[in-house]
A and B are shown apart, each in its own frame.
Chain A
Amino acid sequence: MSGEGLHIDHVTKRFGSGDAEVVAVRDVSLEVAPGEVVLIMGPSGSGKTTLLLMLGALLKPTEGTITLDGLELSSLSENRLPDIRLRHFGFIFQDFNLLSALNVLDNVSIAAELTGSSRKAARQRASALLDDLGLGRRLRFSPEKLSGGEKQRVAIARALVNDPALILADEPTANLDSSQGHETMRLLREIAKNRGRSVIIVSHDQRIRDIADRVLWLEDGQFKEAVIMAVDPVCGMAVEGNKAVSAEWDGVTFFFCSRGCQQEFLSSPGEFLSASSSTSKGAASASAGDPRLHLRGT
């Protein structure tokens, strides 16, 4: 498979052999277009990290192929992978993982220098990027003097400085408070939409659903049935179909954020359906139709 974006084709990853064999990822296929934000969720041990490692060319699949912008990563020799990672991927980690001995500017510019850029060019690029991310006044700061949100923005700048095709983020909001988490999410979406980068996020943070174009649920190494996302017809809140309070009316299932909304709806369904005719049947079918909430099973 080739072309722009990321293509994962029937990828399987096994560890061990015989009785000790563990299948961490089982026959997973996925396509991520440039500018798309994909959120992968799932319980611990579901294979999220293994999948992320394979997407980041840190681990080779046992079967299947992974192709980024026409380059088949899974067939490349180990020797070529470091350069590929340096130039084609941007990594964002839960713990920021900045280099404590370097200041903010050097933390970002070093990634550019590693690709062969001159020190001056690397610093100019890093400086511009940090300025864009609102850290123009923090260039000489040591990482330890930054807030969590600022650290994550530095990490984002580092991930972007080599203009990678794919950004891989592992729990990027886990160590951030609510406002910093929102800011990071906004940035990740902006990177995807304004810079045309594919962004894949592995997270347990439900808030990230708001910025994801797609949410995938990985369980036992496979993408499971799509989580049904719906809009509460009463208050307009996005809710998960499998967890929300529901009610059937006129042969259609509707989902609500609370029993209050459910009762309000049932007392006068027509009022809410006429108010949002486009979503009257969409409450249930929105999960499949809403591009933000499109999910894909295996």
Chain B
Amino acid sequence: MFRLALSNLVQNKTRFLISVGGVGLALTLVLFFRAVFDGAEGRLTVYIDRAGADVWVSQEGVRTMHMSESALPASVVEEVRAVPGVEQAIPILYTEGMIEANGKDYIVYVFGVPPDAPLGGPSRITDGASAPGPGETIIDHAIASKAGLHVGDQVTVLGRELRIAGLTSGTSSLVSSVSFVSMEDFARVRGGGDVISFVLVKVKPGETPAAVSSRIAESVGGVTVQTRGEFASQERQLIGDMSADIITIMNTAGYLTGLAVVALTIYIATVGRRREYGVLKAMGVRNSRLYRIVLFQALLTVGVGLVTGVTLTLLLSVLIPRFNELIVLSVSMASLLRVTVISALIAGVAALLPARQLAGLEPVAIIRRG
């Protein structure tokens, strides 16, 4: 029967290709959008992932970098250092701001880091210095390329002219980038006294971040302490919540398009062969077998469409960053699994109407009335 299902489906090759193409494009839309979001999300937490800190200490109640502001007295650093299990405690300053270059503004997350800090400084240097000195900044090379900037050029960061001392890689996305300045410059620009944003903690060998985190929370007052994993997770959660609606809308549009294409294809393929299915019923083929034919056709259409969609998305995830480094596509297994499961559900739903048609088909009608 699967041979019949397959033959019925691909007999009209043009129609089949259009259907598969339609499903493929719809699923590509879903996968692509998700991949762009995941790519951007990965870039938004890249600093947390690369800073090298096992534990993050912030102002009490502040659990994310985005959509909040952490301000701690500088004295907290010494308090944290005194906690057993802490190997290093490094203060950093942080704010969201702009880089102005050649008449254009670029959104950046600006970090003020101490000179020669073992934690929290720039990573993956592609050119120039590995840490910003006074009057210097280190920016991402993707932003530099886009703005036509090079090491040695001047840019405006936090309203102050700074010289580009070095370039990093892998921190830029469509919506943001990371730039580093010296803590001294940052503090001067911001003003407001002896205040820091976060304390980055490296735990001693043999200690676990969770244990040290608990000890800091118990010993130091007025702070929120999170392991790197918890902090990154909170950050991703916030970003996810902020973009959940638009992602849902885009996904729904993609899935509904796919569903419509598959449903229409299978419906047409079934209705166009009503007579043949009626003959099969007259011969003794049960409804359940006919349902399987329809379901198999729907699954096949969706399956080939899914493979097409995944292939296209993977291809785009390789090609697009070559032309625009700010667009990063991250195709995750979770995303593929989710789309696969939803596609299977789409196939099932798409098969319902044709199956209903077959159930109501009277084989008696096939034999001419005499």
Contact = CB atoms under 8 A, between A and B. Distances in A.
A280 B7 CA distance: 62
Category for how many chain A residues contact B: 35 or more
Contact of B367 (A49, A87, A100, A102): A49
B205 interface: no
Contacts of A93: 279, 366-367
B364 interface: yes
B282 interface: yes
Interface in B324-370: 363-364, 366-370
Nearest to A89: B284
Nearest to A88: B284
A172 B294 CA distance: 30
Interface in A53-85: 53, 56, 58-59, 81-85
Contacts of A53: 364, 367
Interface string A189-224: 000000000000010000000000000000000000
Given A52-B370, A94-B368, A102 B7 contact: yes
Interface in A70-129: 81-87, 89, 91, 93-94, 97, 99-102, 106, 110-111, 113-114
Contacts of B279: 91, 93, 97, 99
Contact of B276 (A47, A89, A100, A106): A100
Interface in B1-15: 1, 3-4, 7-8, 11
A106 B6 CA distance: 13
B367 A86 contact: no
A45 B364 CA distance: 15
A86 B370 contact: no
B364 A102 contact: no
A84 B8 CA distance: 26
B369 A49 contact: yes
Interface residues of B, number: 25
Contacts of B367: 49, 52-53, 56, 58, 93, 170
B4 A99 contact: yes
Nearest to A168: B367
B4 A114 contact: no
Contacts of B363: 58
B66 interface: no
Given A46-B370, A93-B367, A94-B368, A56 B7 contact: no
B247 to A, nearest CB: 41
B370 A102 contact: no
A85 B282 contact: yes
A113 B284 CA distance: 12
A294 interface: no
A183 interface: no
Contacts of A100: 11, 273, 276
Contacts of A42: 370
B285 interface: yes
A202 B283 contact: no
Contact of A86 (B8, B11, B283): B283
Interface in B277-297: 279-286, 289
A91 B7 contact: no
Nearest to A101: B7
Contact of A49 (B275, B289, B368): B368
Contacts of A202: 370
A262 B367 CA distance: 42
Contact of B283 (A44, A85, A101, A170): A85
A144 to B, nearest CB: 11
Given A42-B370, A48-B370, A93-B279, A87 B284 contact: yes
B178 to A, nearest CB: 59
Nearest to A40: B370
A86 B279 CA distance: 12
A77 B144 CA distance: 79
A31 interface: no
A171 interface: yes
Nearest to B12: A101
Contacts of A81: 284
B4 A102 contact: yes
A56 B369 CA distance: 14
Contacts of A47: 370
B311 to A, nearest CB: 27
Contacts of B7: 99, 101-102, 106
Closest 7 CB pairs of A and B: A86-B284, A85-B284, A48-B370, A101-B7, A49-B370, A97-B279, A82-B284
26 contacts: A44-B370, A49-B368, A49-B370, A56-B367, A58-B364, A82-B281, A84-B284, A85-B284, A86-B283, A86-B284, A86-B285, A91-B279, A93-B279, A93-B367, A94-B368, A97-B276, A97-B279, A99-B276, A99-B280, A100-B273, A101-B4, A102-B7, A106-B7, A111-B283, A114-B1, A170-B370
Given A100-B273, A110-B1, 11 more contacts: A44-B370, A47-B370, A49-B368, A52-B370, A56-B367, A59-B364, A83-B284, A97-B275, A101-B4, A114-B289, A202-B370
